[in-house]
Structure 1
Amino acid sequence: MHTISRFVFTVVFFVTLPMHKKLNLLLFVLLFAVAPTLAQQPGAPVDVQHYRFALTLNDADNVIKGRATITVKFLKASTKLELDLYKKNTEGKGMVVTAVTENSRSLKFTQDSNKFVVDTKTAQGSIHNYTITYQGVPADGLIISTNQYGHRTFFGDNWATRAHYWLPCVDNPADKASVEFLVTAPLKYKVVGNGLKVLEKTLPHNKKLTHWSETAQLPTKVMVIGVAGFAVDNSGNPDGIPVYTYVFPEDKEAGFKSYAVAKKILPWFVKRIGAFPYKKLANVQSKTVFGGMENAGAIFYYEKSVNGREIETLMAHEIAHQWFGDAVSEKSWWHVWLSEGFATYMTNLYMEGTYGADTLKSRLAADRKAIFNFEKKYMAPVVDSIFKGPMINMLNDNAYQKGGWVLHMLRRKIGDTAFWKGITAYYKQYNGSNANTEDLRVVMENASSTDLKQFFNQWLREAGHPRLKITWDYNTADKTVAFHINQLQEKPYQFTLECLVDGKLYKTEVKNNAATFIVPVASATAIIKVDPNVNLLAEFDTGGN
């Protein structure tokens, strides 16, 4: 996910968002006023199997009319079905339910500010279909606006739990389901959504029905539609996957050209991770909150992205999310690094594979600097299990850059072969479902035949990083250099330190507060570089040499 302005404030702390999710500040303030906190996200005693959303949009006002048919499996016997849906507020924004039926039988229901409860007696393991009729002006989630050319647009924008502002659902990443969107809108619009387009039909009164259907299991955060006056191009079909571009007609020439890089990125990931999880990839110019949002099979990018200098890295990040975040989703928001850290590092790997090792080094160095700056504002582990604030603040340099750095150090620790073996196994095992950090650890241990408990705990469940004072001295008698390593932080880390001496790379394992290792040299004027390949997330003080 990418964003547009650089800073996000809360009453608790100040967070510098990474490039991939910089937020428009005004929009964030609006989100902050209504967005739930992490502590408010409950587990649900149901498993939604399928959503079918029939929506009617118009140009006269911002009212949407919805008819949602939801297939639900009850995980225990119940007398209630509880769904997430934002009720109409004092400003007139929100959804009002007018009817609920099961098999044409009317059911009683109640609404409060964020919940919608249906009276329904069910047995454990039973499956039911409920049809919910509702309407209202979305307070969020579906962004109804005008684009930079003054034309009206409608774009779903659900991260993290904003789907319930326009869709009745279980708005939790741990509950995944297949989804259909049947959109009735003025004839002039084109509609894009998850999955494949199975119907486009002209209706009376200058309207059109468009039906998109996705059979893969998705979290609500990436279920979307986009409705606008699009120009559409099929830039290619790498590995048999159609890659489409949807841009505003005014940006047709630039957009078709710049977005076409997706057909190069997609097969690079397919080759290394596994089959693309969806039946098409649409890259869509949009008007939403984020600069980039990884909606499954229908990625939304900010308006000016068609001329953006970083379009390739932006697309690589969002396309990587299709595997990590979309197909394999985190079990809870505490593990959001499994989405953002993966997309960050997969982008770095793509750039390394495309442009060389020096590109990876420069990106890692920049990420390392961002991590250290962030820790000065907020010191917490990557898996921040005590965090209780607004979920938007989970999108920080810990989740992105530090999560990516952990994957880089893991790759260096177990080697490329075991790393990619583990990545492909992780995707294969959890595709269509959810995973947490421990699930990843187990998979990577199996792939590498290595105990990774200490590594995962140290880098992901503890805050901070090593701060190293490194000195060295030359021994004339035996022509060696002795490196003296002192860890300045309170608790010692365990890591591999690399030093380049006269062009030869040496490695040593450091486990204690102080360590010394000795290497041969030709003379007292040896050229020495510490961490020459940017492989350790640490601060280095070598000023005494």
Structure 2
Amino acid sequence: MKLKQRSFKQFLFIVFIFNCSFLYVSAQNHDSRFQSIDILNYNFHLTLTDESNEIDGLAEITIKFKKSVTSFDLDLVEQQSNNIGMKVDAILENNLPIIFKHNSNQLLLNIPESKTNDIRIYTIKYHGIPTDGLIISKNKYGDRTFFGDNWPDRAKNWLPVVDHPSDKATVEWDITAPSHYQTIGNGTLIERTNLDRNTTLTRWKMQTPIPVKVMVIGVAQFAVENLEEIYNIPVSSWVYPQDRVHGFKDYALAVPVLDFMINHVGPYPFEKLANVQSKTLFGGMENAGNIFYNEKSVTGNGDYEAVIAHEIAHQWFGDSASELNWHHVWLSEGFATYFENLFYENRYGRDSFVRKLKEDRLKALQYYNKNQSPIIDTTVTDYAKLLSPHTYEKASWVLHMLRKKLGDKLFWEGIKTYYDTYKYSNALSEDFQHVMELISGSDLNSFFKQWLYQSGHPILDIVWNTTARLNIEIKQTQENLFLFPVDLKINFEDGSSSIETIDVNDRLQKITFPKSKNISSMEIDPNTWLFFDLNSIKKE
């Protein structure tokens, strides 16, 4: 996803208010639940109206049991005294009522004892007004809209689910809504029927497993354009009717991005790609097969091309190959950020790519002054706080430095192998490391350890002088020691230059080179391959 730059703090506050008090308990409960059940499919039947914000829901959930249990729990925000939240009316298994308890946003089902590998279907009837997750509001033109916005674990505000990326499932949406709306959902459109003069049923079906964070619907008045198919993948744009001309122009930028990703990573993982103007809290949200962009993304000037590239990259990294645990979110956001930049390199050339890299590096360095955490920070329990320049921009730089370390051929082979291995599944950072080691034949443990699990980055003082030889001292001034190669560009008085690569492996690195010509100046990292900060570079 892309956070809206000017409302990042607002977003953190919103998510904190809705979720913070339940995160610790959920994290404790999920490990045992993960060992017990596996959701195979959700079929959500939802009725939406214009008369109120209350939704009527019926969820048919297909579950495979990993072991024998007599109870399990799902995530669902319970109804409060002000009628906000969800009230469960009944739960059935094989048309027989199940005893349940709904407390602390956990829905506990007491069931006949399961056997290992049992597959059962549970029907949950419920209703209520969502506290979050399904945003029911008016758009910028004053028209009523309904948009799912689940990240990170906000789906439980309107759906009974396992609200964690480790449990992926297929999903079906059966949405009954007033006929003046159109409905977009994950997967393929399988039915649109006018039930009467005022009500329409729309059904979407997703046949590949995805995490709950990217299972959504959008219900609004839309103008829809079907673009050219890319490798038989239908591409469409869904925008507010008032933004039809500008929106179709802006969202058509998805076509070259999709083509780039298919050619560089692998086949597109889902049935379609719909780009949707919406009320998401984010700049863009990578919902599987139907990406939601903030309603201000439509300008007619192509201003959101980078966001479109970022969110489409997520279809591979985050939606198909998903992080197993929230703390490894860089496998989504760092990848999407780097592939956004790689798309720019492919489409606009190296200079555009380098400009974006430098902007990202500066942003991450500035953020580090406020927060000295590593990219993988297991101390975080408020998942929204995992979204930062550490997991976006700095993590993107980790991939960039890995590309330099391995070379383009091995880097791309490793990326393709990683994706092919974990598509429709989940991975941790060590899984990605293992794939890259297997492909390259290199021990990458120190590389990943220092860049992902260790906070900080090289902060350098460089001093050079010339006698009969060129003498260079590189001093690391940060707390944690880093091992890295760095390029130094030596500029000569006659206008020529040379680049020397130095493997830095100590606090104070001293190097000498033969002096062939008079030196006028020196530059560090001339080709933009190292994530670092520079105190000074000077001649003594």
> TM over 0.5, yes or no?
yes
Who is 2:18 aligned against?
Answer: 31
Aligned AA (2:247): G
The 1-side partners of 2:438 and 2:292 are apart by 36
Shift of 1:387: 2.2
Q: 1:123-138 residue pairs with structure 2 within 5 A?
A: 123-138=115-130
Comparing both chains, which one has the higher relative contact order based on Cα–Cα distances under 8 Å and sequence gaps of 6 or more? 1
Name which of 453, 456, 471 aligns with 1:482.
471
Contact 1:201 1:209 (8 Å CA) reproduced: yes
Matched, 1:61 2:52: yes
Aligned AA (1:253): V
The 2-side partners of 1:24 and 1:170 are apart by 23
Instruction: After superposing the two structures, state which structure 1 stretch, 114-123 or 423-432, moved more.
Output: 114-123
Matched, 1:540 2:531: no
Who is 1:99 aligned against?
Answer: 90
Aligned AA (2:18): L
Who is 2:494 aligned against?
Answer: none
Who is 2:402 aligned against?
Answer: 410
Shift of 1:482: 2.3
Matched, 1:195 2:187: yes
Normalised to the residue count of structure 1, the TM-score between the two structures is 0.94
Contact 1:5 1:24 (8 Å CA) reproduced: no
The 1-side partners of 2:457 and 2:4 are apart by 29
Who is 1:17 aligned against?
Answer: none
Aligned AA (2:153): T
The 2-side partners of 1:332 and 1:221 are apart by 12
Aligned AA (1:492): L
The 1-side partners of 2:12 and 2:62 are apart by 37
The 1-side partners of 2:373 and 2:439 are apart by 29
The 1-side partners of 2:512 and 2:398 are apart by 28
The 2-side partners of 1:208 and 1:302 are apart by 26
Distance change (3 Å), C-alpha of 1:39 and 1:175: closer
Contact 1:99 1:134 (8 Å CA) reproduced: yes
Gap runs ≥5 in structure 1: 10-22
Aligned AA (1:100): I
Name which of 109, 123, 128 aligns with 1:118.
109
C-alpha offsets along residues 142-166 of structure 1, whole Å, 9 cap, x if unaligned?
Answer: 0000000000000000000111111
Name which of 336, 339, 343 aligns with 1:346.
339
Matched, 1:494 2:486: no
The 1-side partners of 2:273 and 2:166 are apart by 23
Aligned AA (1:92): N
The 1-side partners of 2:524 and 2:513 are apart by 13
Aligned with 1:310: secondary structure? coil
Distance change (3 Å), C-alpha of 1:491 and 1:379: closer
Matched, 1:453 2:445: yes
Matched, 1:46 2:55: no
Distance change (3 Å), C-alpha of 1:438 and 1:24: closer
Shift of 1:26: 6.9
Contact 2:76 2:156 (8 Å CA) reproduced: yes
Shift of 1:360: 1.8
C-alpha offsets along residues 482-512 of structure 1, whole Å, 9 cap, x if unaligned?
Answer: 2211111233211001012233222111111
Distance change (3 Å), C-alpha of 1:80 and 1:531: same
Q: 1:150-161 residue pairs with structure 2 within 5 A?
A: 150-161=142-153
Distance change (3 Å), C-alpha of 1:220 and 1:32: closer
Matched, 1:231 2:223: yes
The 1-side partners of 2:429 and 2:323 are apart by 9
Shift of 1:131: 0.7
The 1-side partners of 2:474 and 2:17 are apart by 49
C-alpha offsets along residues 313-333 of structure 1, whole Å, 9 cap, x if unaligned?
Answer: 000000000000000111111
Name which of 86, 103, 109 aligns with 2:100.
109
The 2-side partners of 1:94 and 1:40 are apart by 23
Matched, 1:512 2:506: yes
Aligned with 1:377: secondary structure? coil
Aligned with 1:512: secondary structure? coil
Shift of 1:34: 6.1
Name which of 414, 417, 430 aligns with 1:425.
417
The 2-side partners of 1:315 and 1:443 are apart by 28
The 2-side partners of 1:412 and 1:522 are apart by 29
The 1-side partners of 2:257 and 2:8 are apart by 30
The 2-side partners of 1:6 and 1:193 are apart by 28
Aligned AA (1:6): R
Aligned AA (2:67): K
Who is 2:378 aligned against?
Answer: 385
Q: 1:66-85 residue pairs with structure 2 within 5 A?
A: 66-85=57-76
The 2-side partners of 1:211 and 1:112 are apart by 31
Name which of 531, 535, 539 aligns with 2:525.
531
Who is 1:143 aligned against?
Answer: 135
Distance change (3 Å), C-alpha of 1:5 and 1:313: closer
Aligned AA (1:69): E
Aligned AA (1:410): L
The 2-side partners of 1:84 and 1:39 are apart by 12
Distance change (3 Å), C-alpha of 1:243 and 1:188: same
Gap runs ≥5 in structure 2: 492-496
Distance change (3 Å), C-alpha of 1:34 and 1:198: farther
The 2-side partners of 1:244 and 1:160 are apart by 26
Shift of 1:205: 4.4
Name which of 324, 328, 342 aligns with 1:335.
328
CA-atom RMSD in angstroms: 1.7
The 1-side partners of 2:11 and 2:197 are apart by 37
Who is 1:14 aligned against?
Answer: none
Who is 2:6 aligned against?
Answer: 6
The 2-side partners of 1:406 and 1:453 are apart by 13
Instruction: After superposing the two structures, state which structure 1 stretch, 342-351 or 359-368, moved more.
Output: 359-368
C-alpha offsets along residues 316-355 of structure 1, whole Å, 9 cap, x if unaligned?
Answer: 0000000000001111111011110000111111111111
Q: How many aligned residue pairs are there?
A: 528
Contact 2:455 2:480 (8 Å CA) reproduced: no
Contact 1:341 1:401 (8 Å CA) reproduced: yes
The 2-side partners of 1:24 and 1:50 are apart by 30
Aligned with 2:227: secondary structure? strand
Who is 1:371 aligned against?
Answer: 364
Aligned with 1:412: secondary structure? helix
Shift of 1:91: 2.5
The 1-side partners of 2:334 and 2:3 are apart by 16
The 2-side partners of 1:346 and 1:146 are apart by 34
The 2-side partners of 1:302 and 1:504 are apart by 47
Aligned with 1:236: secondary structure? coil
Shift of 1:517: 2.7
Matched, 1:441 2:433: yes
Aligned AA (1:525): I
Shift of 1:472: 1.2
Instruction: After superposing the two structures, state which structure 1 stretch, 498-507 or 315-324, moved more.
Output: 498-507
C-alpha offsets along residues 113-140 of structure 1, whole Å, 9 cap, x if unaligned?
Answer: 3111111121122110011111111111
Instruction: After superposing the two structures, state which structure 1 stretch, 503-512 or 169-178, moved more.
Output: 503-512
Contact 2:253 2:302 (8 Å CA) reproduced: no
Q: 1:460-475 residue pairs with structure 2 within 5 A?
A: 460-475=452-467
Distance change (3 Å), C-alpha of 1:421 and 1:32: same
Aligned AA (1:271): N
The 1-side partners of 2:87 and 2:302 are apart by 43
